[in-house]
Structure 1
Amino acid sequence: MDSGSGGGGGGASGDDQDVSDPHNQRKKKRYHRHTARQIQELERMFKECPHPDEKQRLQLSRDLGLEPRQIKFWFQNRRTQMKAQHERADNCALRSENDKIRCENIAIREALKHVICPSCGGPPMGSTEDIYFDEQKLRMDNARLKEELDRVSSIAAKYIGRPISQLPPIQPVSVTSLELSMGSFGAQGMAGPSLDLDLLPGTSSSLPTLPLQSFGISDMEKSLMAEFSANAMDELIRLLQAGEPLWMRSPVDGRDVLNLESYERMFPRTDHLKNPDVRIEASRDSGVVIMNGETLVDMFMDPNKWVELFPTLVLKAKIIDILASGVVGNRSGSLQLMYEELQVLSPLVSTREFYFLRYCQQLEQGLWAISDVSFESRQNQFSSPHSRRLPSGCLIQDMPNGYSKITWVEHVEVEEKTPSHRLYRDLVNSGMAFGAERWLATLQRMCERFACLMVTGTSTRDLGGVIPSPDGRRSMMKLSQRMINNFCASISASNGHRWTTLSGLNDVGVRVTVHKSTDPGQPNGVVLSAATSIWLPVSSQNVFNFFRDERSRPQWDVLSNGNSVQEVAHIANGSHPGNSISILRAFNASHNMLILQESCTDSSGSSLVVYASVDLPAINIAMSGEDPSYIPLLPSGFAILPDGRPDQGAAGASTSSSTVSRSGGSLVTVAFQILVSSLPNAKLNLESVNTVNNLISTTVQQIKAALNCSGS
């Protein structure tokens, strides 16, 4: 079929039907292809007179054998085309001028660093700090001071028994006598949640705000918690060491699954009630990680490090109270009341919240056990309404050369009032979404990542020929890890995210949410997050290889306009060749704008490909080893998971769950973040929503076409 109405060189006429006639609207539109001579004469006339009058159009109509209406439409289309060309040229010129001014600005700032003050002989004020990041530093300092104020206020309130806000004004007093080490109890604060702090990862305000009165744990209840944790530790050790019939090998995928009948006989529970809505998930896995036992124990007992270890699983974590400090130096005997929120990387899967007791015990030299168990107090103040952790945890055994053997048990009760979305139902109901295999695989990958920080070797592909120093590698990995953390948090189905579903993309739709960003690690303003999840009849490993391959990027990256990219820097962060941090430069794009990308995968089939645009000066700052905390990032990307459906050819093929073949389909979450406005009080408009909706829809269509699964 001939193409639609054409512009100057297109050669197609406008509609032969009068679209204003309602009778003609019902008829099929006809198109007419202009001849070369007609186009040549029309172009000649357009150069002389872009707006011909009626007399001129009639003369052209007679000379070229076209209807006057066709002549009129051709000139309208040609004028529109010329206007678009001029606008594109103007945009390119403005962009080039902007890049030139930015480079001049950077050069001026560098020159100011070497200016000598005539008064004191030293550097002038402000020349030693990069002005580009001053505002980011101030926001971070402000957030830190607010957190410190909340923390000190909560400590003081514990001494006086009521919130500081209820006290009459008093004269300022010294706080040096306060026991500031009690800050580990948390900073729940008396004020309501702050938008500024809610967006800062790792701060107390990014976690659920608990009323101060909930900290009133009596000595009797602490004693009950200690006894309850000790019993849970005994049960966990038996679960870790037992074989059949307590643990059975799954005939479907070879994983260790709990025999519930044997478990109930071995551990009878008086509080167990048969509830048809309650599902038991229990799994066990073991493996070796490249980190020593003492370091692992320290990271497990620190909620911030716990989140850092499991960015794709743990959305939030917090210590509510420290009931026992344990032995100084090795944490043995430490008992903490904690909160955590777990996630699957999709807005379609609800997060799980747990209040639980974490107990650490050193069983012998080089052998630790850490148990987690939910505890329901008499006031029911530390309980999750829909999830409960039964004795779970891990055994950590030191091995030579800084390695550790980990045996992991996950055992939870989940009450699902609303079933999981059909796309993720198999993955969640099989226990793979939150199971032991996924925890251990994530831990192995992250421990490899930390080990790569110690590698002194450099990449053979470097930005501008400058080989990054070890400090530069660490700075780049820190920047990329922050990008990963931000991306994972942006697509969660946490209660803090109010997703709105847009129609237009299968039954899932595109989900959008908006937040005001004042995080030093994000551009300041209103940020629109959009995501959708799809199923592909392609294995998760093949999908991961497709996204991380720079040669296939033009097939799915709508924003690149089909331009290819070149990897100009590469940092390995794991044994798998796909686990790496890359700096990409797009051809035919501004040389001052680069793409920071991290790709990672693990043995459970869980993978990420996350990227963000970063300008060249910011990349140079990170590559030189400076603190990258002030570099703003707005990451987008893909989260890839196996679909959880049993692979017909994998049953009985392996005796280890970590080596079971995964050749089934995959679940892919596509997510974008867009800065709608740099004004914090700006309102979201329909145009931005439509833009991001079309962006995701087009990306999904191109992915399916490239992977030959358009009908899925």
Structure 2
Amino acid sequence: MNFGGLISNSGGVGGSRVVAEIDPHSSGGAIAQPHFIPNSMQTSSALSLSIVQKNMDGHNELDLIAESFDPGIIGRLREEEFDQSRSGSDHFDGASGDDQDPVDEDDRPRRKKKYHRHTPSQIQELESFFKECPHPDEKQRLDLSRRLGLETKQVKFWFQNRRTQMKTQLERHENIILRQENDKLRAENGVMKEAMSNPICHNCGGPAIPGQISFDEHQLRIENARLNDELSRICTLAQKFLGRPISNLAAPRSLPSSTAGLDLAMGINGMGCLNAGASNQLSMGFELGDGVGSSSPVMPLMKPVMGMPNDLQHMTDRHVYLELAGEAMDELVRMVQADTPLWMKSSDGGSETLNVELYRTFSCISTRQSGLVTDASRDSCMVIINSLALVETMMDANRWTDMFPTLVARASTIGMISSGPNGTRNGTIQMMHAELQMLSPLVPVRPLKFLRFSKQHAEGVWAVVDVSIDIQQDASSVNCRRLPSGFIVQDMPNGYSKVTWIEHLEYNESGVHQLLQPLLRSGIGFGAQRWLATLQRECESLTFLMSSTNPNEVPRGLSMNSKKSMLRLAQRMMQSFCSGVCGSSVRQWDKLCIDNVSDNVRVMVRQSLEVGEPSGFVLSAATSVWMPVSRSRLFDFLRDWQLRGQWDILVSCRPLQAMVQVDKDHGGGNSVSLFNAKGLDANNNNNMLMFQETRTDASGSIVVYAPITSTSSDIMRDVVYEGGDSTYVELLPSGFAILPCVTSDHVKGEGNGSDDGGCLLTVGFQIVCDGGQPTSKLTMHSVKTVIDLISSTIQKIKSALQINDGP
């Protein structure tokens, strides 16, 4: 058998082994002088060849003493000129390898085999053929032997030896991988054993094995956890009402000596932990904002994650979430790459809709639920943002809400399932809660609890997928669920990225008004087109604001701090407006049921005690109506401050003057403005400031405004000209949302979402009840006032645009 030019001959001398080597420099493959290897070297050698005497048939057998055999090791025992690429090229004219022919009994004793070395050109030709065909047939071997000037047996044995070498190297590589996997499993097993040997109580954070602590100590732990939660809530409320952080709270009394050594912090539910070496005498001083007090030593205060499900504490359920997130990511990638007939182009050639029937056979993650309507779409576009920045925005609940303010009412991270290595987002899986909204009171808010998984697939290529954790539940208990949805983003030149977005929802349509049902089914309400249009608008606005000076800016040279303060105020105004229209849980609204009021009008009330709003009861009324005019025409009319007196009763005949205008695009459709409505007397007394923001993109347009009260006028001027804090500017927003219209039985005219088919106008107003004081009460007069305000405004808009109500 050929082993890279090394032969073992039988015959031990003095308990030693005789190994004969082939001299590569000798002609004709002469045998070099034998070398005697002592037994001591045999036992310490990692790999050796030995002759084992057999009594069966009187034959000798070559035995390989090693756990694994690497032919390259034996080749390296020779001189440096024997490199690994030629280890399978030198052979004898005898059988070897995995295709060795049986030895005939007439051939004994074996004759010496003639040694032959292949030339470099022969080896190169054989290696090239081996890559294409490792197992040549007899005809191919004959052809090679003719071309290379070799015998057929030489070609056959070369391939046998080469296959043996490849097989050995593959087994060695697999052994390394299995050994690493085994080490990993051992480490995980050790961690699990440690966790099982020291279980933790979910209620108090202490040992869970009975008998380790007394009953009184256990009760003290539970009480301590409850007090920590209560303290966190009180401090948060105090900061909320006072508008500033509170520090140096009175330190609690030290615990009795019997419990001084207890671990007072709960680590299992998100509270901070104290190490075992902490002082028994604990003095706690809390400072809201960062949760760290000024006294020392300090016990950090961390607000527990609200809504954390208990099943997150169990390893088995964590594995379920990991598996669900992985399957969702696989499905998202396949749906992005899939072509027709799974995705069907819309009639306008824009976004694509899902073939639901074909998806049932395509997906392995979801099951069809009766009673739910499917809303699934796909779209792609170029966005001026890099992939990593977009992923960071999506994985941060607050930044995600700021990026999509009209789509995401509120969002929070419930818990972390898996974190990426070294703090990266690659492989991060987190459980989140969110409320999705559409700017119409006729569409209910959609609460979702889902997993969000971010993964880097290549350099500059990321994917983020969402999937509801109740995806397998019965449809009767689910109002809305998110099937694998998300996007794949790829970096492009000049700071742009290509984003392909998939949005896939199933929802209960019973709570949606008939006027809005066609719009939602078309995908305009919550589809991929709306997500991408909002993302594109926000990124372009940010880029425009950070670019060179704007020629249309009023006044010229407005400082960056002033712009930031105005944008923060506009963001707060937009969030409050959306809450009043949709009724999300951002504000604690109570719906009012009033007789003789149309079902299309929703009236809600809440008590306002927050900084930045007038005190008292706040009434909100909103409705959606169809308007037989184009969306662009209606938007241009409502945002034009020179035409405002035709519909706004607050302005009436007052002349308006533009004080400040910060554009967020070149066309001026996205801007933040401040107007001055002058008084009617000669001295211009009783002037009123009007703050306004306009937004528009392919998915819709918004005009939101709020009068600035006299008590906030000076603060507003400080915000505009000095870049001051806008937190204390009091405002109650009102405004309009204009959505594309979709053809239905309830809509006149024709159209499929274009401007020619009309549009849907949502009108929302917020007013403070009579008196505007904290002691003001809710009266029917206030309710009638806000309802009449909506009705008269809609009629004024129709009259100004010369719209006649049909029969």
Q: With structure 1 as the length reference, what TM-score do the two structures score? A: 0.67
Equivalent residue runs for 1:41-52 within 5 Å = none
* Equivalent position to 1:645, from 743, 748, 760: 743
Give the Å deviation of 1:401: 2.6
RMSD: 3.5
Q: 1:143 to 1:428 in 2, by over 3 A?
A: farther
Structure 1 residue 441 corresponds to structure 2 residue 533: yes
Structure 1 residue 577 corresponds to structure 2 residue 668: yes
**Following the alignment from structure 1 to structure 2, what is the Cα–Cα distance between the partners of residues 452 and 140?**
33
Q: Equivalent residue for 1:670?
A: 763
Q: Equivalent residue for 2:340?
A: 244
Give the Å deviation of 1:457: 1.7
Q: Equivalent residue for 2:648?
A: 557
**Following the alignment from structure 1 to structure 2, what is the Cα–Cα distance between the partners of residues 523 and 451?**
34
Give the Å deviation of 1:422: 2.1
Q: 1:563 to 1:606 in 2, by over 3 A?
A: same
Q: 1:392 to 1:161 in 2, by over 3 A?
A: closer
SS at match of 1:594: strand
Q: Please tell me whether the aligned partners of residues 453 and 474 of structure 1 are also in contact (alpha carbons under 8 angstroms).
A: no
User: Which AA in structure 2 matches 1:530?
Assistant: A
Structure 1 residue 468 corresponds to structure 2 residue 552: no
Q: Equivalent residue for 2:605?
A: 514
* Equivalent position to 1:618, from 681, 706, 715: 715
**Following the alignment from structure 1 to structure 2, what is the Cα–Cα distance between the partners of residues 249 and 144?**
60
Deviations 1:285-334 (A, max 9, x none): 11122222221111100111111111111111111111112134541111
Q: Please tell me whether the aligned partners of residues 503 and 510 of structure 1 are also in contact (alpha carbons under 8 angstroms).
A: no
**Following the alignment from structure 1 to structure 2, what is the Cα–Cα distance between the partners of residues 585 and 346?**
30
Q: Please tell me whether the aligned partners of residues 502 and 509 of structure 1 are also in contact (alpha carbons under 8 angstroms).
A: no
Q: 1:513 to 1:457 in 2, by over 3 A?
A: same
Give the Å deviation of 1:629: 2.0
Give the Å deviation of 1:382: 14
* Equivalent position to 1:494, from 572, 575, 584: 584
Q: Equivalent residue for 1:290?
A: 384
Equivalent residue runs for 1:401-420 within 5 Å = 401-416=494-509, 418-420=510-512
**Following the alignment from structure 2 to structure 1, what is the Cα–Cα distance between the partners of residues 342 and 298?**
51
**Following the alignment from structure 2 to structure 1, what is the Cα–Cα distance between the partners of residues 428 and 414?**
14
User: Which AA in structure 2 matches 1:140?
Assistant: G
**Following the alignment from structure 1 to structure 2, what is the Cα–Cα distance between the partners of residues 486 and 631?**
13
Q: 1:666 to 1:392 in 2, by over 3 A?
A: same
User: Which AA in structure 2 matches 1:414?
Assistant: Y
Q: Please tell me whether the aligned partners of residues 552 and 663 of structure 2 are also in contact (alpha carbons under 8 angstroms).
A: no
Q: Please tell me whether the aligned partners of residues 751 and 757 of structure 2 are also in contact (alpha carbons under 8 angstroms).
A: no
**Following the alignment from structure 1 to structure 2, what is the Cα–Cα distance between the partners of residues 383 and 230?**
26
Structure 1 residue 627 corresponds to structure 2 residue 725: yes
**Following the alignment from structure 2 to structure 1, what is the Cα–Cα distance between the partners of residues 369 and 454?**
31
Give the Å deviation of 1:217: 3.3
* Equivalent position to 1:266, from 348, 354, 362: 362
Give the Å deviation of 1:137: 8.4
Structure with the greater relative contact order (CA < 8 A, sep ≥ 6): 1 or 2?
1
Deviations 1:559-613 (A, max 9, x none): 2223342322211113442111111122435465311111110112343343432
Q: Equivalent residue for 1:310?
A: 404
Q: Equivalent residue for 1:451?
A: 543
Q: Please tell me whether the aligned partners of residues 272 and 300 of structure 2 are also in contact (alpha carbons under 8 angstroms).
A: no
Q: Equivalent residue for 1:93?
A: none
Q: Please tell me whether the aligned partners of residues 555 and 703 of structure 1 are also in contact (alpha carbons under 8 angstroms).
A: yes
Q: Equivalent residue for 1:19?
A: none
Q: Bigger shift: 335-344 or 631-640?
A: 631-640
Structure 1 residue 223 corresponds to structure 2 residue 328: no
Q: Please tell me whether the aligned partners of residues 510 and 531 of structure 1 are also in contact (alpha carbons under 8 angstroms).
A: yes
**Following the alignment from structure 1 to structure 2, what is the Cα–Cα distance between the partners of residues 562 and 342?**
39
Deviations 1:420-439 (A, max 9, x none): 21221211222221100001
Equivalent residue runs for 1:106-505 within 5 Å = 139-141=242-244, 156-159=265-268, 173-174=283-284, 187-188=305-306, 210=307, 214=310, 216-251=312-347, 254-268=350-364, 272-275=367-370, 277-328=371-422, 330-376=424-470, 385-416=478-509, 418-458=510-550, 460=552, 462=554, 467-494=557-584, 496-502=588-594
Structure 1 residue 524 corresponds to structure 2 residue 621: no
Give the Å deviation of 1:688: 1.4
Q: Bigger shift: 511-520 or 545-554?
A: 511-520
Deviations 1:388-437 (A, max 9, x none): 11111001112223222211000111133x25212212112222211000
User: Which AA in structure 2 matches 1:620?
Assistant: R
Give the Å deviation of 1:501: 4.9
Q: 1:573 to 1:501 in 2, by over 3 A?
A: farther
Q: Equivalent residue for 1:543?
A: 634
**Following the alignment from structure 1 to structure 2, what is the Cα–Cα distance between the partners of residues 544 and 178?**
56
SS at match of 1:599: strand
SS at match of 1:709: coil
Q: 1:347 to 1:499 in 2, by over 3 A?
A: farther
Q: 1:671 to 1:160 in 2, by over 3 A?
A: closer
Q: Bigger shift: 591-600 or 172-181?
A: 172-181
Q: Which has the larger radius of gyration?
A: 2
Deviations 1:56-106 (A, max 9, x none): xxxxxxxxxxxxxxxxxxxxxxxxxxxxxxxxxxxxxxxxxxxxxxxxxxx
Q: 1:552 to 1:140 in 2, by over 3 A?
A: same
Q: Please tell me whether the aligned partners of residues 139 and 518 of structure 1 are also in contact (alpha carbons under 8 angstroms).
A: no
Q: 1:323 to 1:491 in 2, by over 3 A?
A: same
**Following the alignment from structure 1 to structure 2, what is the Cα–Cα distance between the partners of residues 163 and 293?**
34
Deviations 1:611-669 (A, max 9, x none): 43255422322121122122222111111111222899877xxxxxxxx8432221111
Q: Please tell me whether the aligned partners of residues 510 and 696 of structure 1 are also in contact (alpha carbons under 8 angstroms).
A: no
Q: Please tell me whether the aligned partners of residues 315 and 489 of structure 1 are also in contact (alpha carbons under 8 angstroms).
A: yes
**Following the alignment from structure 2 to structure 1, what is the Cα–Cα distance between the partners of residues 690 and 529?**
32
**Following the alignment from structure 2 to structure 1, what is the Cα–Cα distance between the partners of residues 409 and 248?**
24
**Following the alignment from structure 2 to structure 1, what is the Cα–Cα distance between the partners of residues 616 and 551?**
36
SS at match of 1:304: helix
For structure 1, the 5+ residue unaligned runs are 1-134, 147-154, 165-169, 189-209, 652-659
Structure 1 residue 599 corresponds to structure 2 residue 694: yes
Deviations 1:463-516 (A, max 9, x none): 6xx7421111121112112111111112114365332255667x4454221111
Q: 1:461 to 1:574 in 2, by over 3 A?
A: closer
SS at match of 2:571: helix
**Following the alignment from structure 2 to structure 1, what is the Cα–Cα distance between the partners of residues 590 and 670?**
32
Q: With structure 2 as the length reference, what TM-score do the two structures score? A: 0.60
Q: Percent identity?
A: 40
User: Which AA in structure 2 matches 1:470?
Assistant: M
Q: 1:543 to 1:328 in 2, by over 3 A?
A: farther
**Following the alignment from structure 1 to structure 2, what is the Cα–Cα distance between the partners of residues 478 and 563?**
28
Q: 1:610 to 1:459 in 2, by over 3 A?
A: farther
Q: Equivalent residue for 1:697?
A: 791
**Following the alignment from structure 2 to structure 1, what is the Cα–Cα distance between the partners of residues 332 and 652?**
55
Q: Equivalent residue for 1:127?
A: none
**Following the alignment from structure 1 to structure 2, what is the Cα–Cα distance between the partners of residues 484 and 675?**
18
